[in-house]
Structure formats: C-alpha cells, structure tokens
Chain A
Amino acid sequence: MKQFNTIFLKIAFVSITICLASACSNDFELDNLDETLYVRHKNADMPAYIRGNSSEKVFLITLHGGPGGTGLGFTGKAFDAIENQFGLVYFDQRGSGNSQGHYSEDDVSIDLMAEDVLALVKVLQRKFGSDSRFFLLGGSWGGTLGTATLLKNQSFFKGWIEVAGANNPAGLYDWYIETFTTTANNQIALGNSVDFWESVLELVAQVGAVNNLDDFLDLNGKAFEAEEKLFEDGFIDAVENGIGGNETFFTYNFLTRGWNNSQIASILDNQGLFQTTDFTSQLSEIRIPSLFISGRYDMVVPMVSAQTAFDAIGSTSKELEVFERSGHGPMFSEPELFAEKVIEFMNAHK
C-alpha cells in the first residue's frame, strides 16, 4: 500500500508539473497561430483571439459591429482564407462578447474605446515584436470605432479597411429615409414583396423629420428586415448573420453576450451615437492607404456612407469596392471576392 501511494504521488507530481509547464508556456508557431490573450486597459479586460499565418508578422486587427457584437462574429469562409495569408486578431471590445471589468457608464466613450484598440496594438507589439505590422478593419459600428482610432493615432497601421462602416452614424437617419424610399419604389415596381415594401414606405412617412433615437431604432430594425426580403427575392446572396460567425455559439455564453450587447449599445445610444457622431469633416486627416467595401443592397449602413467616406478621406491611395450581390455583410454574401480584395490590398501595402 505504501509503495502504491509513493508511485501515485510521483505520477501526480509529474502530471501537475507537465500541466503547469504547458499552461505557462509562451511557445507559439507564427505560421499557425491560435492564441487567446487579454488586454487590461482602464478597468476593462478584453480578449483578443489571434489566429492564422503570421510568418511575415503582418496582422489584421478586426473591429466588430454593434456596438456590442463579438470579435469572432467575423469568422467564416472569407476570414478563413485571409487567415491562410495573414495573422487575424479578433477583438472583443469593451463591454462586448467575453470582455469584463469594473467601470461606470460615465467612463465609457468612443474615445476610450479607441484608446483600447491602441492598447491592443501595444500588447501585440510586446507579444510578437516591435517589427510587427498592422492593418485595421472595421465593420459597421467597427467603422466608427476604427475611424476614431485612426484619428487618435494612425502611425501604428499600414492600412485601413472599412466594411459597411458607419463613420457618420448621425447621417444614417436621413440616408435610411432616402435609401428606403428609392429601394421600396424600385421593388414595388418590380412586383417584389409589395406588402413589405409598402410597410417600409409607411414607416418612412411616420418617422419624425428630425433625427431621434426611437425613430432611428425603428428604421434600423426595418433595415435588417429589408435585407431579409432582398435575400428572399434574389438580390443578395446571403444575409449578414449579425453577431453570428461560424465559431461563436460555444465561445460566447448566450446570456452574457446578449446582456453585454444591450448594455454597451444602450450606453452609447444614450450618449447620442446616432444623433451627434459624425467624423466626415475629420476624414481628411486620415492619410494611410484605405479600402472601402460596401454592399450594393446594404440597407443597414447604405452604400452612400462608403461613397461619402471615400470622397472625404485624406489618403492618396484609396479604393472603393461595391459588392453587387451583397447587403450589410459582404464577407458572408461574397466571401471569395471579399477575401481576394482584402488580401490584394494587404499585399500591396504591407
């Protein structure tokens, strides 16, 4: 019995040592990264999921939509293809996904969240070396946050990719009214989902002439419904799956994700995100190479937003790609084309 105990204790000691050694190990393969690390900044702990091939130390940092989406919400066919070429950093922003911390509502601002992104870059430089190169990609609300980040410090980045991005959230209200009216009239003329598009015109007639949050939220909700109809009627190849992504179900606790989403969205909404925030006049200060991608049938952030940003940005090297079979999620509707354009842009400017 005593001998058995000794053997058991030895096995236990060796097992625990191996577990501790592997847990503390910092080894990683740059060409096949699968790391999760947290950024602690101003009372928030925010996870970054780092994947893909970074043998050239070129990373694409992604900023999810929402506010309150999830970093891994981008994952899917398009980003799998980009991961084969570059390192991908999927980041759960403050108050989103699996982020946690202690702070008050008053502390939260777009400015602070932009500082969080810059803090992430500093952590990546510490982890992978100061010779690492970074591109920034923002989707939807991530476009707002990315623009705010670049206006604080664009020197960290080799290029900016804005996907269906809202760098003028306050302008969405009027753009909804214009786009809904045009699209509804076109669809009614074609005889597609006539009852639905008539309800869209009714909503447009009901909302106030002055931008207000309640009417904005009604229009925003209708925009997602409109994309569903355009998908059903064959104009969009696949609808944006919101905060989905192909590996999010088991990664994010449904309740935590939903609660975080509603909290951070309501904090920023109540600060006037969709009534007062407009970076258009400052876009001329952004001079790094920029790529704008927008879906022809984007009802959530209409294509006019990308066109306005493209015209206003200060970059000498800039491109606007309109995806003809896409709505608000071109990476899900036309993944091959999306990956091709992003990889091409990164290769040109890395």
Chain B
Amino acid sequence: MKNMKKYTLIFLLISALQLKGQDKIDASTFLAKTEFKIGYSGTILWSNGFLVGAEYLLKELDKTKERRGAKRTNTHQFLFNGNLSFMTNFSSKTDTGGYANFGLTWRRTNKKGKQFSIDLNPLGYYRSFLPETYKVNGDRVDKVFLPGRGYYSPSISVGIGKRRKGKVRSGSYVNITYSPRFNYNAGTLPTFSIQYGFRFNFKNKK
C-alpha cells in the first residue's frame, strides 16, 4: 500500500511534467503535418461503404537519383495513419461491418506530384454487424442484442495518388487493401477491398 502511494505520486509528477511539456507543442505545426482523408471503401460488387482517416507526417526526406542523364528528386514520407471504415452488402444484408486500423505509411512523391504508397497497419479490428440474430443454447432461444463478431484484422495497402501542393484538398488516392480476418470460422479469411478518396490539409490556404 505504501509503495502504491509512492508510485502514484511519481506517476502524477511525470504526468504533470508531460502536460507542461505539451503546452509548447505548436498546434499549427500539428495541423500542417496532418492530412485528413475521406473516400469510398469496398469491393464494388459485394460490399460498398466509406472510409475516414488521418495521416500524420513523421519524417520527410528528399532523395535525388540520376536517371537517363537527368537528376530526379523524389520525396519520401513516413506517416502514421489511422482509419475508420464501414461497408455493407446491400444485396444480402449479411456482410455489414466496420474496420478500425492504425499503422505506418511509406509514400514516394515525384516532381509532378504523382505518388506511390504502401500502408502497413498491424493494429486492425473488424466488427461485423448482423441482422436479427437468435442464440440457441439447448432448448433456450434468446434474441441477441447488437449481434456481430469482432476479428483481429491487420492490413496492407498498396496505392497510387496525386498531390495538390498548397491546396486544402491536398491530394487523391486509390489503394488496394488486403486485410485477413483472424479467426474466421475455423481459419483466416482473406479479404480484399479498394479505397478511393481525397486528402485534405486544412492548414493550406487555397
């Protein structure tokens, strides 16, 4: 109990210092480094929905290469990304669910603003939402409240895009995403989807 009090005091002290330190973070820098995104997410034929997310720039560097006698400079970015998406199958009403995933993005942008990116999101969760569901246990039948199931669902995305430098709508993107669902039935369900949408940087002026 004595130790508990000691650790609580240390924790509160560190927390206070941490908060004091955070006062100095420039909010404008945070917004300038953050792009928000919104777009379509789905498989077109079997599920359709939307995605919202954000990308925070962790590191940016320029790399210059010589190709066919000319120097080309590409910008490489490492970003932290977080996404929420929701998809449904309007035909069956049996394939509705939402994703939340977080991870890192590597993105290369050339001089013309064309982009290539790879997202690795090891933290991912999929929750299905089922229609009217009844649970049977022996002879007992109960209606299930908010039926559905949760699955660990990391993802990897590969995509292309276009940057609009200095604009509020700062870019567009198309990704193909592979996100397996663990444990689905007696194994791991592979799923693929397409994302298409726009990025926004609200610190930009135009």
Contacts and interface: CB of A to CB of B under 8 A. Distances in A.
Binding site secondary structure of chain A: mixed
B141 A126 contact: yes
A95 B94 CA distance: 14
A219 B153 CA distance: 39
B40 to A, nearest CB: 17
Interface residues of A, number: 42
Interface string B134-148: 111001010010010
B30 interface: no
A259 B189 contact: yes
B131 A103 contact: no
B92 interface: yes
A122 B139 CA distance: 7
Contacts of B131: 36-38
B89 A45 contact: no
A335 interface: no
B92 A98 contact: yes
B136 A39 contact: yes
Nearest to A247: B91
Contact of A253 (B43, B93, B136, B184): B43
B134 A38 contact: yes
A92 to B, nearest CB: 8
Contact of A107 (B132, B149, B186, B190): B186
Contacts of A35: 132
Given A45-B147, A123-B134, A123-B141, A256 B183 contact: no
A94 to B, nearest CB: 8
A255 interface: yes
Contacts of A259: 187, 189-190
Nearest to A45: B130
Contact of A39 (B91, B92, B134): B134
Interface in A6-63: 26, 35-41, 44-45, 47
Interface string B86-99: 00010111110000
B143 to A, nearest CB: 8
B192 interface: yes
A45 B133 contact: yes
B134 A126 contact: yes
Contact of A102 (B43, B183, B190): B183
A253 B134 contact: no
A47 B139 contact: no
A263 B186 contact: yes
In this complex, the member of B95, B128, B133, B185 whose beta carbon has the largest number of chain A beta carbons within 10 angstroms is: B185
A250 interface: yes
Contacts of B192: 255
A260 interface: yes
B80 to A, nearest CB: 30
A256 B189 contact: yes
Interface string A239-254: 0000000000111111
A99 to B, nearest CB: 7
Interface in A252-283: 252-256, 259-260, 263-264, 267
Given A38-B132, A40-B134, A252 B92 contact: yes
A123 B185 CA distance: 21
B132 A101 contact: no
A127 interface: yes
Contacts of A251: 89, 91-92, 94
Interface string A103-130: 1110110000000000100110111000
Q: Top 4 nearest A-B pairs by Cβ distance?
A: A119-B136, A250-B91, A38-B133, A253-B46
Interface of A: 26, 35-41, 44-45, 47, 94-95, 98-105, 107-108, 119, 122-123, 125-127, 249-256, 259-260, 263-264, 267
17 contacts: A39-B133, A39-B136, A40-B135, A45-B130, A47-B92, A99-B185, A100-B149, A100-B185, A102-B185, A122-B139, A123-B134, A123-B141, A250-B92, A251-B94, A253-B89, A255-B191, A259-B189
